[in-house]
Structure 1
Amino acid sequence: MSRWKELPAELDPRVSQLVVRLRRLKDHGGLSMRQLAAKTGYSAKSWERYLGGRSLPPREAVEAMARIAGEDPTRLLALHEVAAEHWSRTRGVAPGEPEPDEATGSAGPSEVTAPRRSRPAVVAGAVALVLAVAAAVLLTVRFTGASGSGGGSDGHPAAASAAPATASASGSKVVYQCRVRQEDGHWYAGNSRTQDAIVAFGEAGPEVAEVQCLLDRADLSPGEIDGIFGPLTQRAVKRVQQRDGLVVDGIVGPHTWQALRGTAPR
């Protein structure tokens, strides 16, 4: 599992979200940069820039990543369209155009040889699609994911004492509870039993609530336990990463889960 460097602070959240999802697919596939290059046709150096947030990957690279990971590319490509629009406004590069190679000042070899298709007519539709999909996913996760699945995100049955998420009277907000307990030397808060899910800024759901409860247990306040990975939660995650000598990227992966589940408050 890769230990990723922190993304550039100036990176727009929409671009960060795309990069984090690409990182997640790479990690879940257990691929090295060379293996990823061989399977996608884009060089290892290019993928280092893409996954480091220093270049925006072409649409075809994103589609190839989804294909080798066995994922439906629709949502990932919609996220790419939104990220590309912002990237073009802030970096002066048109969506779908290759980024200059940092060492030579010219386009990297993979970007030159990889096929590219112009899609200016579908940008507006893609933006609407990603907003609609994101809203649907958020509602599904927040209202049904925490209490209707019957188990943890890693396939373990939920403990009988797990606290279900409850909706407020307005029906617009999910309130998570923290029922922290220790099992076999690991801490659990009743929202998720995962040990390796990648959880990052902008995401929502029971895994985020689990992170927040465990941060609160460690006296690293994440703010409200609302299942939404916002700035306060990200700041608290970085503090626990710094405390435990981990890469301080604000992204919860296997190493940070280990710190949250296995380390006593200090």
Structure 2
Amino acid sequence: EAAGPGEPGAPGVPEEPAGQGRGDTVVIGGSAAAAKSAPRRPARRGLLVAGTALVVVAGALAVVFGLVLPGTGAAEADEEQHRRVAAEEFTFEPGRTHPCDIHRFEGRLYAGHSDTTEALLQQISTTWDVVEAQCLLEHRGYRIGSVDGAYGATTERAVKRLQDKEGLVVDGIMGPHTWEVLRR
């Protein structure tokens, strides 16, 4: 059989040793005919398959972590930062005061203890909502003494002064209209 141009055995092209030509596979303990029938796969193909598999796995992990784990997107992070609402049940302790972390979120003021806009508060109430109201009253300049979470006479007087100044019904009860004014 005659060799074509550029193939081993053609004039001017050196002969390659048996078993090491293009497309040949070296088989130890086998025949040259068996070696010719097993085509050699290029290394690039293996890298391409491995790379594709890696991308698919990475994409699947991203979906799993995005769906299964709690979200920490920008909007959720802002909301979490603003909602440092006390998780434990409120227990009034005489003499204990609470800190006020006044901040604005979506145009409203918060103090980090409650996010209510509806809670009805009046004398003898003791809740985190009272702490929130006391912080916001103090922030607006209505002195209530100590931020202790007990809706007493001093807190009621501060609420009445706020209601009077804002043109609300002056009853000393924290309700939706008074919350709306405090959260502005």
Query: 1:197, 1:158 → 2: CA distance?
Result: 21
1:155-203 Cα distance to aligned partner (Å, 9 max, x none):
xx8646627599xxxx765432100001111000001000111011111
> Partners in 1 of 2:136 and 2:106 — Cα distance?
16
2:101 to 152, 170, 179: 179
Give 1:247's aligned residue. 169
**1:194 aligns with one of 116, 120, 129:** 116
Identity of aligned residues (%): 39
Q: Is the 8 A contact 2:85 2:115 kept in 1?
A: no
Give the conservation status (yes or no) of the 8 Å contact 2:86–2:114.
Answer: no
Superposed CA deviations along residues 200-247 of structure 1, whole A, max 9, x for unmatched, are 111101100000000001000111000000111000000100011000
Give CA-to-partner distance per residue, 1:97-125, whole Å, 9 cap, x none: xxxxxxxxxxxxxxxxxxxxxxxxxxxxx
- Whether the 8 Å contact between 1:196 and 1:254 is mirrored in structure 2 is yes
Whether 2:156 is the aligned partner of 1:237: answer: no
**Amino acid aligned to 1:227:** G
Structure whose CA Rg is larger: 2
Unaligned runs of 5+ in 1: 1-156
Structure 2 unaligned spans of 5+: 1-78
**What's the Cα RMSD here?**
2.4
- CA distance 1:251–1:178, change in 2 (3 Å): same
Give distance in 1, aligned partners of 2:170 and 2:117. Answer: 18
Alignment of 1:80-95 (within 5 A): none
Could you say which residue in structure 2 is the equivalent of 1:260?
Answer: 182
Mapped to 1, the partners of 2:134 and 2:87 lie a distance apart of 14
Contact preservation (8 Å) 1:189, 1:213: yes
Which runs of structure 1 show a deviation greater than 6 angstroms over 4 or more consecutive aligned residues?
none
Distance 1:196 1:161 in 2: 17
Q: TM-score normalized by structure 1?
A: 0.35
Structure 1 residues 258, 221: closer, same or farther in 2, change over 3 A?
A: same
SS of match in other structure, 2:104: strand
- Give the conservation status (yes or no) of the 8 Å contact 1:165–1:176: no
Aligned residues of 1:165 and 1:174 also touching (Cα < 8 A): no
Q: Tell me if structure 2 keeps the 8 A contact 1:162–1:179.
A: no
Q: Which amino acid aligns with 2:109?
A: W
Which residue does the alignment assign to 1:123?
Answer: none
Larger helix percent: 1
